Amino acid sequence: MKVIVTKNNEDASKKAFELIKEEMNNGAKVLGLATGSTPIPMYQDMVNSDIDFSNMTSVNLDEYVGLAPDDPQSYHHFMQVNLFDKKPFAKTYVPDGLATDAEAETSRYNKVIADNPIDLQILGLGRNGHIGFNEPGSPFDSETRKVPLTESTIEANARFFDNENDVPKFAYSMGIGSILKSKKIILMAFGSAKADAIKAMIEGPATPDCPASALQNKDNVTIILDTEAASKLADSAKIEKTA
Ligand code: F6R
């Protein structure tokens, strides 16, 4: 696991986009993508670039259960607005929030992942250590499933909704096991609210209590932080350290 600490989220996002381009030059065809505020500057860099993604496939991590693809709060809509409308991909996959048969939808999505092995997965990090919507307690070998969101995640995501009660209580999420099958993984985290989760993920034990700790001891994982998110790490003074 390589940990890169940058000055701010702009530098971090540029670094992440450089790694994406490097992987595309090496033949990567499938990107695993995340939503939330963390990857937005990176998506802006992608949009403002002259890189063509029209032969690329994307597989997103998760979607709220109950939200239609065109719902402004849905992750499907988020991806359209922040990336796909401006940089078309050959094929994009997001779980179907309107699917009522959870078993059918999660099997369908597991097949999507199996048919489109992810070359490079982009991850954000929840304050509670979640990746995708794999909340604390999620098994490291989990596949796509319907998951209840924790109170802390509902509270953190309430900023995107008019009312906390409008935040969906369930999501379809790619599992940790599926994430770990990606050839390469980049996790980004910015701001002091992520510092405890970053410390637990990098320095704590590898345990489902901190889902992101599943990434420990993997040499295909790059963590890109700003100084605030790295502030509780034992040696946060280093600009770049390899663990
Ligand atoms: C989003 C996702 C989540 C977020 C995490 C951080 O697709 O899977 O794990 O990456 O909740 O969210 P932000 O970036 O909004 O702090």
Question: Which pair of tokens denotes residue 99?
Answer: 């699917």
Domains of the chain as residue ranges with CATH: 2-241 (3.40.50.1360)
Angle between helices 9-25 and 40-48 (to 10 degrees): 60
- The per-residue DSSP string of 96-121 comes to -TT-S-HHHHHHHHHHHHHHS--SEE
Please report the pLDDT score of residue 241 as a whole number. 45
For residue 72, is pLDDT > 60?
yes
Low-confidence winner among 92-101, 140-149, 156-165 (lowest mean pLDDT): 156-165
32 Cβ below 6 A of ligand 1: no
CA of 127 to the centre of ligand 1 (A): 9
User: Half-sphere exposure of residue 152, counting CA atoms within 13 Å on the CB side?
Assistant: 13
% residues pLDDT > 70 (the chain): 96
The protein residue whose alpha carbon is closest to atom 15 in ligand 1 is: 36
Q: Pick from 1, 39, 22: which is nearest to 120 by CA?
A: 22
For residue 199, is pLDDT > 90?
yes
Atom of ligand 1 nearest to the CA of 123: 10
Q: How far apart are the C-alpha atoms of 30 and 24, rounded to whole Å?
A: 9
What confidence tier does 240 reach under pLDDT thresholds 50, 70, 90?
A: low
For residue 11, is pLDDT > 70?
yes
Beta bridge partners of 5: 225
Non-local CB neighbours of 7 within 8 Å, separated by 6+ positions: 226, 227
Match 């490079």 to its residue by tokens.
120
Q: What is the pLDDT of residues 23-58, one digit of tens each?
A: 999 999 999 999 999 999 999 999 999 999 999 999
Question: Which pair of tokens denotes residue 209?
Answer: 């209590």
126 Cβ below 6 A of ligand 1: yes
Q: Pick from 30, 56, 171: which is nearest to 113 by CA?
A: 30
Atom of ligand 1 nearest to the CA of 33: 7
What confidence tier does 208 reach under pLDDT thresholds 50, 70, 90?
A: very high
Question: Which pair of tokens denotes residue 130?
Answer: 């979640």
Match 């029209």 to its residue by tokens.
54
Please report the pLDDT score of residue 92 as a whole number. 98
For residue 228, is pLDDT > 50?
yes
For residue 237, is pLDDT > 80?
no
Q: Pick from 169, 144, 141: which is nearest to 155 by CA?
A: 169
Continuous H helices in the chain? 9-25, 40-48, 75-79, 102-115, 151-157, 176-180, 195-203
132 Cβ below 6 A of ligand 1: yes
Please report the pLDDT score of residue 216 as a whole number. 94
CA of 124 to the centre of ligand 1 (A): 5
Instruction: Taking residues 217-242, report their average pLDDT.
Output: 81
What confidence tier does 239 reach under pLDDT thresholds 50, 70, 90?
A: very low
CA of 133 to the centre of ligand 1 (A): 8
95 Cβ below 6 A of ligand 1: no
Instruction: Taking residues 147-160, report their average pLDDT.
Output: 91
Q: What is the pLDDT of residues 93-109, one digit of tens each?
A: 999 999 999 999 999 99
CA of 191 to the centre of ligand 1 (A): 13
Rounded mean pLDDT of the chain?
A: 95
% residues pLDDT > 90 (the chain): 91
What confidence tier does 160 reach under pLDDT thresholds 50, 70, 90?
A: confident
